[in-house]
Structure 1
Amino acid sequence: MSATTTSPRISPVNPALATPTDLSSEGVAAIADQLRDLLADVFALYVKTKNFHWHMSGPHFRDSHLLLDEHSDQIFAMTDELAERARKIGGTTLRSIGDIARHQRLRDNDKEFVEPRTMLAELASDNQELTRSLRAAHAVCDEHQDVATTSLIENWIDETERRTWFLSEIAGPR
């Protein structure tokens, strides 16, 4: 589903999980849908960043290894905030690795070996794609007057743009 589609693909929340909110039920569904997809992408990016961190090699190993560790910590920190935000407004979130796989838009990299420069360029591209998804989710939240989620997203956009900048500078010319 594209970020501009207004009809959510999720079912109503089980009454036992309902959370009071002044957002419309349509808004909750649309926002929770966006947050679920973002969370799946963030988990995928986290695992890929850790994968590349663990499998980094080459003359700039130490600097790249430490940078990717820092980035993975920052990315992982987003997960709880994304999931809890969906719950705070009365939505639900991901439930399993399979659920992540069904919702993620960022591609995995299962190659046995990836050149260090390719790793960094791929992560730069993935972070840039995440920024686009964050902007699309921001638009949905703004449409439904969810100021708190838009505020969180604005901070994540800034962090993601910073990661893109660092990674693209290190990866070199495109």
Structure 2
Amino acid sequence: MGKIDIGISSENRIAIAGGLKKLLADSYTLYLQTHNFHWNVTGPQFRDLHLMFEEHYTELATAVDEIAERIRTLDIPAPGTYKAFASLTSIEEVEGVPEATQMVEILTGSHEKVVKTCRAVLAIAQEADDESTAALVGDRMRIHEKTAWMLRAMQ
């Protein structure tokens, strides 16, 4: 491949990609968590939660691809292993199968953690005048804020 020249310095591309790697790890971990809960939810709210969780993990599947492609656009390799994601994510693993109400609480907290990761990446992107990353991260932040709000409303 030829040398990249998109108006963002190498140092800024590395810093932005570093933040995006954390966002990718958080998003992928949240995808797995949500999919797990979709498969294992039980109780009186089964149908509503089962369908909601499916909507959420489907949206996250698209998101992880967009985030990884942005990292590659910056000419930085994107992480793609469980080991890499585990070392980068701020979302904690859940042991066992929690009750449905706990699933909602856990997912609320996980979406809020992703929002915080988005805020950190957004600041880096804005400082580097990287509108493309800022737009992507801003959209992601809005989606996670709204999802957390909807989950909180169920508690």
Q: TM-score, normalised by structure 1?
A: 0.85
CA separation in 2, counterparts of 1:97 and 1:128?
Answer: 21
Matched, 1:88 2:66: no
Deviation of 1:93 after TM superposition, in Å, equals: 1.1
Is the CA contact 1:20–1:90 (under 8 Å) kept in the aligned structure 2?
no
CA separation in 1, counterparts of 2:136 and 2:39?
Answer: 29
Is the CA contact 1:21–1:90 (under 8 Å) kept in the aligned structure 2?
no
Matched, 1:169 2:153: yes
Matched, 1:148 2:110: no
Partner of 1:29, secondary structure, is helix
Instruction: Report the RMSD for the aligned CA atoms in angstroms.
Output: 1.3
Aligned to 2:95: 110
CA separation in 2, counterparts of 1:94 and 1:125?
Answer: 24
Aligned counterpart in structure 1 of residue 112 of structure 2, from 115, 128, 131: 128
Tell me which amino acid in the other structure corresponds to 2:153.
Answer: E
Tell me which amino acid in the other structure corresponds to 1:20.
Answer: D
Seq. identity, %: 30
Is the CA contact 2:90–2:113 (under 8 Å) kept in the aligned structure 1?
no
CA separation in 1, counterparts of 2:143 and 2:152?
Answer: 14
Deviation of 1:95 after TM superposition, in Å, equals: 3.2
CA separation in 2, counterparts of 1:19 and 1:133?
Answer: 26
Tell me which amino acid in the other structure corresponds to 2:140.
Answer: W
**Higher helix content, 1 or 2:** 2
Aligned to 2:46: 61
Deviation of 1:36 after TM superposition, in Å, equals: 0.6
Aligned counterpart in structure 1 of residue 123 of structure 2, from 135, 139, 152: 139
Which segments of structure 1 move beyond 2 Å, counting only runs of 4 or more? 16-21
Is the CA contact 1:50–1:69 (under 8 Å) kept in the aligned structure 2?
yes
Matched, 1:99 2:81: no
Structure 2 runs not aligned, ≥5 long: none
